Amino acid sequence: MRSRMRWRASLALAALAAGACTAGAATMSVQVKSGQLRATPSFLGRVVAPLSYGDRVEILETKNPWMRVAGPRGQRGWVHGSALTEKKIAMASGSRDAQTGASSDELALASKGFNSDVEADFKAKHRNVDFTWVDRMEKWKAAPEAMQAFLKDGGLKPAEGGAR
């Protein structure tokens, strides 16, 4: 009897392990600072809604490397697979999500680590390392229309994204 109960327990564990992993594959996290949900699977597609770092999205359809997903606020659209990760990403320390998720290794790892606090400390210790140009570089962003025109004028291919 005792042995049968153990069997049941272990079968439940096996189901838990398998189920959790499968569920993990169907839901993914946004791993970029600012992402976009698009109307079509292309970088030229109209932006339907913005996505934020750590947003959980449900995978509805995959057209490698693009994925059609349902966003956290119910919006549906296409996002490039490289903007998503199967890992859960916790919000910055102190946020609601970080506090509720603090017991999980996975979330804890994401919420700690090299962040703006560490960068500030690094800057204070290395006054000769100037981030001015790095901040400036990050603002340099070509507009999608400019990239589209650049490709067309140059006799290049349209940017469908990651056709590898």
Residue 131 C-beta: closest distance to other proteins, Å? 5
61 vs 117, which CB is nearer to other proteins?
117
Site string for other proteins, 4-23 (x = CB under 8 A): --xx-xxx-xx-xxx-xx--
Applying CB under 8 A, does 127 fall inside the site for other proteins? no
Residue 46 C-beta: closest distance to other proteins, Å? 16
Task: Please give the backbone phi and psi of residue 59, each rounded to the nearest 5 degrees, phi first.
Answer: -80, 120
Q: CA angle, 22 as apex, 28 and 15 as ends, to 5°?
A: 145
Site string for other proteins, 45-84 (x = CB under 8 A): --------x--------------------------x-xx-
Applying CB under 8 A, does 145 fall inside the site for other proteins? no
- Kindly state the helix (H) or strand (E) to which residue 105 belongs, with its residue range: helix 105-111
Applying CB under 8 A, does 28 fall inside the site for other proteins? no
DSSP 81: G
Looking up tokens 């993990």 gives 24
Nearest to 52 by CA among 34, 78, 40, 29: 34
Applying CB under 8 A, does 114 fall inside the site for other proteins? yes
Nearest to 163 by CA among 9, 41, 77, 35: 41
Applying CB under 8 A, does 89 fall inside the site for other proteins? yes
